[in-house]
């Protein structure tokens, strides 16, 4: 068997979506496992919707995830160009070949006629397909008509009464009747191909051996097989990945939390976590292991272990997995990832101070976007309402007494007191009984938040002087 060559061929009509990224990932893992070649091709023939900014977003998203093509628009390669708009001469050559061999033909039905036909078939609950009356028009007559009008399309002359069977590497044999396909369109003009035609020509030109893509493309496969056969191209192997579903088992959408790869990046997910999570959307090597390194995934990957049923996109699992990856980082590594998520004022503080803040929050984080709200009080006192200082129903006078006592204890400490020293000193001074009336106002005075780490951890980072200043500010609120 030849060395596998696989590809991902997104359209630059929007940002890189998690579904496209998952397909790219499975192609990449397969190629790496088989010592093959992974190609990125840009299908930009939809000129109205394609945009260079989306193309760049695709490049950036794959690079951020660590899904690195061997060939593509950025990398170059022996089968360049890798953009469809730069390959029109190749498509026109093959379109004209099919027209000359009467394997394709010009269709002159108007859009109005085609719409009426579709509506009639739907009303009669018939398969929606087009068996074209122009398929047997003499080529000379069709060419003469094309010279005079612009309202036409080029269709493939689908053979009738044939069963098209192909082995799917995930699903087994899949069969279609050609009578349920109809004469499908393959080009607007000889130099303007449509998807099903261009993808076949490109896959052949780039020596693609395996087409690994979502199951929503299954219906395209018999059409592409027919085109390849008509052009004399060798067969490729197909593998159709399960759909990604929401928790309610409907097709994944934004209401399930699905976002573009760029949005996951902005939310503070680590690329390694998203890589790992997507690899398990429809594939698992067996066993209970869920955290895999990139190298483990490459070594373990096989199409035989891709499931047929839909893969559930569990956002809670992604959050858990991202938290695991965050906790696996050294605090220095976490700072590299976290810089853009910290309050801007963090740059005014020594790196050693910022590292202490991150070390405190690291065990609790699920994603880096949580950082700004969690740690803002370490980089400037927070505004809060006086009533937040109140433990249960204690009076303002009692709050003031508690805060004054805390200030006294703080003043007894050395400036560089450790968390353990601070905690031991406070607990010994407070003694037995309910500690809430003292520690709740103290913690709120330090953080300005209803929920935060404990006061001893906070004071150890803020330092004694800053802690005293915040307690005094709280006293001003209740006096």
Residue 114: partners with Cβ closer than 8 Å, 6 or more residues away = 130
Q: 190 with 155: CB under 8 angstroms?
A: no
pLDDT confidence tier of residue 449, bands split at 50, 70 and 90: very high
Express each pLDDT in 352-372 by its tens digit: 999 999 999 999 999 999 999
Q: 21 with 65: CB under 8 angstroms?
A: yes
Express each pLDDT in 103-161 by its tens digit: 999 999 999 999 999 999 999 999 999 999 999 999 999 999 998 887 899 999 999 99
What residues are labeled active site?
A: 254
- Averaged pLDDT, 249-263: 79
> How far from 452 is each of 375, 442, 448, 455, 457, CA to CA, in Å?
9, 12, 9, 8, 10
How high is the pLDDT of residue 246? Answer: 87
Q: Report the sign of the C-alpha dihedral through residues 460, 465, 466, 469, in that order.
A: positive
Overall size of the chain counted in residues: 479
- Averaged pLDDT, 322-340: 98
- Does the pLDDT at position 252 exceed 90? no
Q: How far apart, in Å, do the first and last CA atoms of the chain sit?
A: 83
Considering the domain delimited by 381-478, tell me its CATH architecture.
Answer: Orthogonal Bundle (1.10)
CA distance 353 to 364: 18
CB atoms within 10 A of CB 422: 22
- Does the pLDDT at position 202 exceed 90? yes
How high is the pLDDT of residue 258? Answer: 65
Tokens matching residue 85: 């708009």
How high is the pLDDT of residue 428? Answer: 96
Domain positions in the chain: 381-478
Instruction: Tell me the average pLDDT of the chain.
Output: 95
Tell me which of 161-175, 244-258, 304-318 is least confident. Answer: 244-258
Task: Determine the 3-state secondary structure of 293 from DSSP.
Answer: coil
Output the DSSP codes for 154-198. Answer: EEE-PPSS-EEEEEETTTEEEEEEGGGT-S-EEEEETTEE-HHHH
Query: Cα-flanking dihedrals φ and ψ of residue 173, to 5°?
Result: -65, 135
Task: Determine the 3-state secondary structure of 50 from DSSP.
Answer: coil
How high is the pLDDT of residue 257? Answer: 64
> How far from 228 is each of 94, 103, 168, 221, CA to CA, in Å?
11, 12, 17, 10
């Amino acid at each position: 068997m030849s060395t596998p060559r696989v590809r991902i061929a997104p359209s630059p009509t929007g940002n890189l979506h998690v579904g496209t990224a998952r397909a790219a990932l499975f192609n990449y893992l397969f190629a790496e496992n088989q010592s093959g070649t992974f190609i990125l091709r840009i299908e930009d023939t939809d000129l109205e919707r394609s945009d260079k900014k989306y193309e760049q977003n695709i490049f950036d998203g794959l690079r951020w995830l660590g899904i690195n093509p061997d060939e593509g628009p950025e990398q170059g390669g022996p089968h360049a160009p890798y953009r469809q708009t730069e390959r029109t001469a190749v498509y026109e050559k093959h379109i004209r070949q099919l027209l000359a061999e009467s394997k394709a033909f010009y269709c002159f039905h108007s859009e109005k006629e085609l719409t009426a036909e579709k509506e009639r078939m739907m009303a009669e609950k018939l398969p929606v397909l087009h068996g074209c009356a122009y398929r047997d028009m003499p080529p000379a007559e069709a060419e003469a008509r094309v010279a005079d009008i612009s309202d036409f399309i080029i269709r493939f002359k689908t053979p009738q009464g044939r069963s098209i069977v192909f082995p799917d590497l995930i699903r087994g044999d899949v069969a279609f009747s050609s009578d349920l396909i109809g004469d499908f369109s393959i080009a607007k003009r000889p130099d303007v191909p449509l998807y099903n035609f261009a993808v076949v020509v490109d896959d052949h030109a780039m020596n693609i051996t395996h087409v690994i893509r979502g199951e929503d493309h299954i219906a395209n496969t018999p059409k592409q097989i027919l085109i390849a056969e008509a052009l004399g191209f060798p067969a490729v192997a197909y593998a159709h990945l399960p759909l990604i579903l929401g928790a309610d088992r409907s097709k994944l959408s934004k209401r399930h939390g699905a976002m573009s790869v760029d949005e996951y990046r902005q939310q503070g997910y680590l690329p390694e976590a998203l890589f790992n999570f997507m690899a398990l959307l429809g594939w698992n090597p067996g066993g209970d292991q869920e955290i895999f390194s990139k190298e483990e995934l490459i070594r373990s990957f096989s199409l035989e272990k891709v499931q047929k049923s839909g893969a559930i996109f569990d956002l809670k699992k992604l959050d858990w997995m991202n938290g695991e990856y965050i906790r696996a980082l050294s605090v220095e590594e976490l700072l590299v990832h976290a810089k853009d998520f910290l309050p801007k004022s963090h740059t005014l503080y020594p790196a050693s101070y910022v590292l202490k803040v991150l070390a405190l929050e690291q065990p609790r984080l699920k994603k880096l976007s949580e950082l700004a709200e969690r740690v803002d009080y370490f980089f400037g006192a927070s505004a809060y309402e006086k009533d937040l200082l109140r433990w249960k129903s204690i009076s303002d006078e009692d709050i003031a007494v508690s805060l004054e006592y805390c200030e006294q204890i703080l003043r007894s400490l050395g400036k560089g007191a450790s968390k353990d020293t601070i905690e031991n000193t406070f607990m010994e001074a407070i003694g037995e009984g309910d500690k809430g009336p003292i520690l709740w106002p103290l913690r709120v005075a330090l953080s300005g938040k209803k929920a935060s780490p404990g006061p001893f951890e906070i004071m150890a980072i803020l330092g004694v002087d800053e802690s005293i200043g915040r307690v005094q500010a709280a006293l001003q609120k209740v006096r």
